[in-house]
């Protein structure tokens, strides 16, 4: 039953992503990553034995630990990537604000020259 | 006064003959300094005839109007970028308009224009790329503790790391106008380490400083901002730490 719920969550998330891209609420670049994560959920739900086999090969006695650890690792990496991207956006924003201030000063000077 | 006269002459001829005559500009980041900025600009103008650029960091008072009435060119930032973001705007403006030397001063009247001659001299003589007006007597005990911690973690062998009274030459201006420098939030450790990493020479020059005419420090006014600032600066200093270069003694200045 738990497997079915997990699989259903995966499929629902994938559908939601497609809907968000369709409605222009989510950029397709970000959607690609989320669809892959949703696919992971679906695999975990509908084929739990897949994870069981990998866990057994890694020597893990309790397979769900592998899924949880992977999940947390993916989340941490995603949050880190978001902060890196945010830093880029802040940087570009700062450079733009500075350029607007410089252009405004130049424009004022040109207007004053024209008025003379 | 010789160096000031030299810069005055350079600026007067710079528009026609920029190649052979470098030019200088005074950059002044300002936030809500309407009460003091007019007098600060007048004091500078009485002493040195250089273009003064005020970078208004989204003030809510009439800083822009006061600065313009006093004869300064104003770069009005539409959103607050902080002291370093504002200073960097001025440095980018200096690059854009071909200035060779940039002098940065606070808008609150702390920096005495009469010290400019002493501060410009080592840069004009090619002894260093950046000179910092150092006044270690100023500031609270908290600021002194901050200085010690910042020097220890960053390895910077300079006396007054937080002073905004500086002279930059063309190489330094170009480095600090770059995208890389836009990632910095404060003008102290990060800026100095970036300059040092590029092989630029930084020198402390002892100057006298005055009490603020108006306002308060944007960092050293509350424990919370000090804590954030220290955590931020110490992490930056540790992550970018390099072997400290030999401290340049002000007594090396000649003339």
The minimal CB distance from A98 to the residues B53, B74, B88 is found for B88
| Paired tokens of A70 | 């992977």
Q: How far apart are CA B86 and CA B76, in angstroms?
A: 9
Name the phi and psi angles at B25, rounded to 5. -145, 145
Side by side, which strands form the sheet with B202-206? Answer: B73-76, B52-56, B24-30, B101-104, B166-168, B130-134, B202-206
Global pTM value: 0.79
Please identify among residues 67-106 of chain A the ones whose CB lies closer than 8 Å to any CB of chain B: 87, 91, 94-95, 97-102, 104-105
Residue A31's Cβ-count burial label (10 Å; 0-12, 13-18, 19+) is: middle
Is the pLDDT score of B222 beyond 50?
yes
Other CB atoms within 10 Å distance of the CB of residue B58: 16
Instruction: State the pLDDT confidence band at B255, using cuts at 50, 70 and 90.
Output: very low
Q: Give the DSSP H or E segment for A43.
A: helix A28-46
Q: Which residues of B touch A83 (CB under 8 A)?
A: none
Query: Chain A contacts of B28, Cβ < 8 Å?
Result: none
**What residues pair up with B203 in beta bridges, in sequence order?**
B131
On chain B, the residues whose CB falls within 8 A of the CB of A109 are 73
pLDDT, residue B4, reads 65
Q: Which pLDDT score is estimated for B7?
A: 65
pLDDT tens digits, one per residue of B34-45: 999 999 999 999
pLDDT at B22: 55
Q: Among A91, A95, A102, select the one facing B93 at the smallest CB separation.
A: A102
Beta strands B73-76 and B52-56, pairing class:
parallel
Q: Which residues of B touch A (CB under 8 A)?
A: 53, 55, 73-79, 81, 85, 88-89, 92-93, 96, 179, 182-183
Interface residue A12 vs chain B (CB under 8 A): no
Nearest CB among B78, B96, B182 relative to A95 is that of B182
pLDDT at residue B165 tops 60 = yes
| Cβ-contact B244, B199 below 8 angstroms | no
Cross-chain Cβ contact A94/B81 below 8 Å: yes
**Cα dihedral A38→A41→A46→A48 (10° resolution):** 160
CA distance B4 to chain A (A): 26
List of chain A residues whose C-beta atoms are within 8 Å of the C-beta of residue B55: 101
Q: How far apart are the first and last CA of chain A?
A: 82
Percent of chain B with pLDDT over 70: 82
The predicted structure's pLDDT at residue B246: 44
Task: Spell out, as residue ranges, where chain A has pLDDT lower than 70.
Answer: 2
Distance from CA of B182 to the nearest CA of A (A): 6
Q: How many residues does chain A have?
A: 116
B243 vs B116, which has greater pLDDT?
Answer: B116
- Virtual torsion, Cα A56, A59, A64, A66, nearest 10 deg: -110
pLDDT class of B236 with cuts at 50, 70, 90: confident
């Amino acid at each position: 039953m738990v497997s079915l719920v997990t699989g259903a969550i995966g499929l629902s998330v994938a559908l939601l992503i497609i809907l968000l891209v369709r409605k222009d609420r989510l950029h397709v670049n970000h959607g690609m990553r989320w669809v892959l994560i949703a696919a992971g959920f679906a695999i975990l739900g509908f084929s739990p034995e897949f994870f069981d086999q990998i866990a057994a090969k890694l020597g893990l006695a309790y397979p769900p630990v592998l899924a949880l650890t992977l999940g947390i690792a993916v989340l941490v990496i995603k949050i880190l990537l978001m902060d890196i991207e945010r830093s880029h956006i802040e940087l570009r924003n700062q450079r733009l604000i500075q350029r607007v201030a410089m252009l405004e000063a130049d424009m004022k000077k040109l207007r004053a020259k024209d008025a003379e | 006064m010789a160096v000031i006269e030299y810069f005055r002459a350079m600026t007067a001829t710079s528009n026609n003959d920029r190649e052979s005559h470098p030019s200088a500009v005074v950059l002044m980041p300002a936030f809500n300094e309407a009460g003091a900025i007019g007098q600060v600009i007048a004091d500078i103008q009485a002493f040195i005839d250089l273009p003064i650029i005020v970078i208004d960091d989204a003030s809510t008072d009439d800083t822009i109007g006061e600065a313009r009435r006093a004869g300064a060119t104003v770069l009005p930032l539409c959103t607050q970028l902080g002291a370093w973001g504002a200073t960097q705007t001025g440095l980018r403006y200096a690059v854009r308009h071909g200035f060779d030397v940039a002098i940065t001063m606070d808008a609150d009247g702390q920096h005495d224009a009469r010290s400019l001659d002493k501060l410009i001299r080592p840069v004009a003589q090619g002894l260093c790329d950046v000179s910092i007006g150092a006044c270690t007597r100023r500031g609270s005990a908290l600021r002194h503790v901050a200085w010690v911690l910042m020097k220890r973690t960053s390895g910077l062998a300079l006396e007054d790391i937080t002073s905004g009274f500086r002279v930059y030459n063309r190489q330094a201006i170009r480095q600090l106008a770059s995208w890389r420098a836009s990632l910095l939030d404060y003008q102290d450790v990060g800026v100095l380490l970036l300059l040092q990493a590029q092989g630029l020479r930084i020198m402390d020059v002892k100057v006298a400083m005055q009490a603020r005419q108006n306002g308060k420090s944007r960092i050293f006014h509350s424990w919370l901002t000090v804590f954030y600032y220290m955590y931020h600066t110490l992490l930056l200093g540790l992550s970018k730490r390099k072997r400290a270069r030999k401290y340049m003694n002000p007594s090396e200045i000649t003339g």
